[in-house]
Amino acid sequence: MALTKLDQLYRQVILDHSSHPHHHGKLEQSTTQIELLNPTCGDVLQLQLVVKDQVIKDIRFDGSGCTISQASASMMTDAVIGKTVSEALALADQFSLLVQGKDVPKLEELGDAALLNGVAKFPARIKCATLSWKALEKALSGIKD
C-alpha cells in the first residue's frame, strides 16, 4: 500500500519530537528573538535565544505548524544548544544540504535532525523542515562575530 513510503518521512523519532517537542514554550528573558512565517501554509514559528559570549546558552520555540516543522524545530534546538554561533550556523548549512538530498560531511553533528533526510524525497515539504533553521540563521546572523 502506498503509505509505506510515508515511513521514510514520518519516522517514529520524528513523530515523538512532534508530539513531545524539546525546548518548547517561552523564555522569560532572552537576548535574541525572532518570528518567522511560512506564508504558503500559515505556519508561524517564534524562536527565543540566550546568547552569551557567542555561545547559545538557552533556546525555546513556540508557534504552530505541521509534524515536520514542529519535529524539526525540536531537533534543531537539541542540535544547537551549547554550541557557538558559528558552529550553529555551520549546522544550519549542513541541514540545508541534508534536506536537499546532498552529502553531509559530519552527519552525526546534527543529532536527531539527521533523521529528517527523508524530506528530500518530498520536495513540497522541504520548507516545513527548514523553517526553524531559517529562523535560527536569521536570529544569529546579527550577532555573529
Partner 1 sequence: MSFSAKQVKNDFPILTQIINDEPLVYLDNAATTQKPTAVLAALETYYREANANVHRGVHTLAERATTGYEAAREKVQHFINANESAEVLFTRGTTTSLNWVAKSYGEANVRQGDEILISVMEHHSNLIPWQQLAKKTGAALKYIELTEEGLLDMESFHAQLSEKTKIIALAHVSNVLGVINPIQDIARLAHARGAVLVVDGAQAVPHMPVDVQELEADFYAFSGHKMVGPTGIGVLYGKRTLLEQMDPVEFGGEMIAVVDEQDSTWKELPWKFEAGTPNIAGAIGLGAAIDYLSTIGLSTIQEHEKSLMAYLWPKLIAIPGLIVYGPKDIAKRTGIVTFNLDGLHPHDVATAMDMEGVAIRAGHHCAQPLMRRLSADSTARASFYLYNTTADVDKFIEALLATKEFFAHGLN
- Provide the binding-site residues for partner 1, judged by CB under 8 A: 1-7, 9-10, 12, 15, 40-44, 64-68, 122, 124-125, 128
Pick the closer one to partner 1 by CB: 7 or 93.
7
The least distance separating partner 1 from the CB of residue 132, rounded to whole angstroms, comes to: 15
Pick the closer one to partner 1 by CB: 71 or 113.
71
Find the helix packing angle between 126-141 and 85-99, rounded to 10°.
160
The least distance separating partner 1 from the CB of residue 45, rounded to whole angstroms, comes to: 12
Pick the closer one to partner 1 by CB: 32 or 74.
74
Pick the closer one to partner 1 by CB: 3 or 103.
3
Contacts (Cβ under 8 Å, ≥6 apart) of 90: none
Contacts (Cβ under 8 Å, ≥6 apart) of 79: 88, 91, 109, 110, 111, 112, 113
The least distance separating partner 1 from the CB of residue 30, rounded to whole angstroms, comes to: 24
The least distance separating partner 1 from the CB of residue 2, rounded to whole angstroms, comes to: 5
Distance CA 95, CA 112 (A): 11
Q: What does DSSP say about strands 55-64 and 43-52: parallel, antiparallel, or unpaired?
A: antiparallel
Beta-bridge partners for 24: 61
